[in-house]
Structure 1
Amino acid sequence: MSEALVAAEASGAVSAAPGPSGARRFWRRLRTQRAALVAAGAVALLVLVALAAPLLTALEGQDPTTYHPALVDSARGGVPTGSFGGVSGEHWLGVEPQTGRDLFARLVYGARVSLGVALAATVVQMLIGVSMGLGAALGGQWVDQLLSRCTDIIIAMPLMIMALALLAIVPSSFPRPVLVALVIGLIGWGNIAKIVRARTLTLKELDYVSAARLSGWSTLRIARRELLPGVAAPVITYAALLVPSNISVEAALSFLGVGVKPPTPSWGQMLTSADVWYQAAPQYLLLPAGALFVTVLALTVLGDGVRTALDPRAASRLRVGTGLKREAGA
């Protein structure tokens, strides 16, 4: 029987069933993690709200910059009139103290700024980090030493202090959300470069990369065709975990007064003046703080799920776990 199978396989009569593609394997592993799926749904909802901010505020009939002085009590220092901070059919979440600006409109537009800055900063970090890591791994000894020392300097720099210094000296005429994204991206790429360099040094010693080199491929072609697919998984994993960190940094910079400036709404910028109103108008503090908490938590859980789904050891763990369940059931 075994000889017949060997002969059939040799003649092509029996062929192994093709395995699932990389995307299908990733989705299959991710589906087993319910927490990651819930987090993905929350992130998708947040992104949808951010993209649909103009439509949502149009349905409410408000915008994030119009002042409503009649809705605040100037005799009490600007506390919103009415119950629950001025909640009404026209202002779904109430109004902002002192100015009377609509809180719902500022919250949904603030999601656009916070998520947009974090995603843009992550893209900048990915581009610089991958380029520096590949250059260090594929360059000569002097190139590797130079780029590695530059990476070490970037990693050693305190992110918040450097960002505060850079944001303080740039003219206010420069678009602030773009500036914040660039500053975070230009300072926070060091760890990505380290990851890419280490992974590339491992991949370049493998047989298929050596074969491509012996075939006369250029270094750029080898990096694009053979090495980049190999470093994609750890880079995507780190990027997924980096987005919530960048959201927190943007919120902290805006809270310190050097990030996004009024009247542009941002969750961190909203928290800048909300800390003195937590007793008179608690929703002014709780709404942006709660939005930040939910967003960072969802992105962190999703990033951990992506890391597990992209882990090449996940498939073997799943198979072992399935086998153990079957033996226990038997």
Structure 2
Amino acid sequence: MSEALVASPAPAADSSASGASGARQFWRRLRAQRAALVAAAVVALLVLVALAAPLLTAIEGQDPTTYHPSLVDSARGGVPVGPLGGIGADHWLGVEPQTGRDLFARLVYGARVSLGVAIAATLVQVLIAVVVGVSAALGNRWVDQVLSRTTEIIVALPLMIMSLALLAIVPGSFPRPVLVALVIGLIAWGTLAKIVRAQTLTLKQLDYVAAARLSGWSTWRIARRDLLPGLAAPLITYSALLVPMNIGVEAALSFLGVGVKPPTPSWGQMLTAADVWYQAAPQYLLLPAGALFVTVLALTVLGDGVRTALDPRAASRLRVGTGRRGEARADAGTTAGTDLPRPGTPADGTKEATA
């Protein structure tokens, strides 16, 4: 991917024009992918709902922590009173079993926690990966060896087990969403660091980087001016795929009881409490599970669309196609008009004998 992501050096005005042209090409390729546009709209809507959670719950007139014991039937174990889990004008998605807390309020506030933790963990991963990967690629042999072996150890660590261990020993007074984001970010940066190191080693071999080194530029200046712009495309692509992965990790940790603690709502925490209510109150399980599924699917599709849009060779591959049909079509296009004999010429290429 490196040769497709790096451009030749140019003056400041030309580089800005090239950057604007590259941005236009990126948006054009992204707009050509309808699935990616739909996924982007879904992600934007989810982020908007998460940011506007206080306003939405104020319009409904509820909050995520207030108990409503009168809305659950204690004689039946706390099943919500009314049809469809207590859905009504005051509670748009019904209420939570046993507690009577509003499900809509907990769902939109849970979006803030799940998305916030995933995005914060991704930022931590990207920051550590860039520092470690670039330092390993630009450092001497010993620095590269130490950082590379450390990265391999981090990659080999089991994420869930290490997260469970760290989250279990930290005092409960520490803000739990911040702690979960830090733990995920500090454990799961290894793979991205290896990608950054490999890409930086490729960029180091380019002529304009060698010219900058010979002109006396410092390592930091070369990294900031020449290498980091070339790393933007793979970082954006992989980060778009890291966010849904981190959402799943946060949900799994909350499901195991070591993630976000009540009364702070989280989609994974709601799934943990709903595992015994899937028959008596199915909406309590289906709503957070559906929200998780839609969010992870939309982010995954968007990440794949961003990867395709940032790869200039993807458009030609999509036009020609892949597999045997694409190869046959490409071969037919290259041989058309060259292998066919001219009119009046035999197939073996010899001239006909004239009378």
Q: Give the TM-score, by structure 1 length.
A: 0.91
Kindly state the Cα deviation for residue 315 of structure 1 after the two structures are TM-superposed.
4.6
- Partner Cα distance (2:37, 2:209) in 1: 36
Does 2:142 align with 1:142? Answer: yes
- Describe the SS at the equivalent of 1:21: helix
Aligned counterpart, 1:35: 35
Superposed CA offset, 1:121-140 (max 9, x none): 00000000011000000000
Q: How do 1:1-330 residues align onto structure 2 when only pairs under 5 Å count?
A: 21-317=21-317
Cα 1:81–1:318, aligned 2, differ >3 Å: closer, same or farther? closer
Q: Are the equivalent residues in 2 in contact too, given 1:128–1:189 (CA < 8 A)?
A: yes
Figure out how many residues of one structure are paired with residues of the other and give that number.
Answer: 307
Q: Are the equivalent residues in 2 in contact too, given 1:29–1:314 (CA < 8 A)?
A: no
Q: Which runs of 5+ in 2 are unaligned?
A: 1-16, 322-328, 334-355
- Counterpart residue type for residue 244 of structure 2: P
- Counterpart residue type for residue 152 of structure 1: E
Superposed CA offset, 1:297-324 (max 9, x none): 0000000000000113135446768xx9
- Counterpart residue type for residue 58 of structure 2: A
- Partner Cα distance (1:187, 1:105) in 2: 32
Kindly state the Cα deviation for residue 232 of structure 1 after the two structures are TM-superposed.
1.0
Q: Give the TM-score, by structure 2 length.
A: 0.84
Q: Are the equivalent residues in 2 in contact too, given 1:124–1:182 (CA < 8 A)?
A: yes
- Partner Cα distance (1:250, 1:212) in 2: 43
- Describe the SS at the equivalent of 1:173: coil
In our comparison, the structure showing a higher alpha carbon Rg is 2
Superposed CA offset, 1:81-108 (max 9, x none): 0110011100000000000000000000
- Partner Cα distance (1:186, 1:88) in 2: 44
- Partner Cα distance (1:123, 1:205) in 2: 28
- Partner Cα distance (1:194, 1:22) in 2: 26
What is the percent sequence identity of the aligned residues? 84
- Describe the SS at the equivalent of 2:272: helix
Q: CA RMSD in A?
A: 1.5
- Partner Cα distance (1:249, 1:42) in 2: 21
- Partner Cα distance (2:239, 2:265) in 1: 25
- Partner Cα distance (1:58, 1:124) in 2: 33
- Partner Cα distance (1:131, 1:59) in 2: 45
- Counterpart residue type for residue 287 of structure 2: L
Superposed CA offset, 1:38-94 (max 9, x none): 000000000000000000000000000000000001111111001100111000000
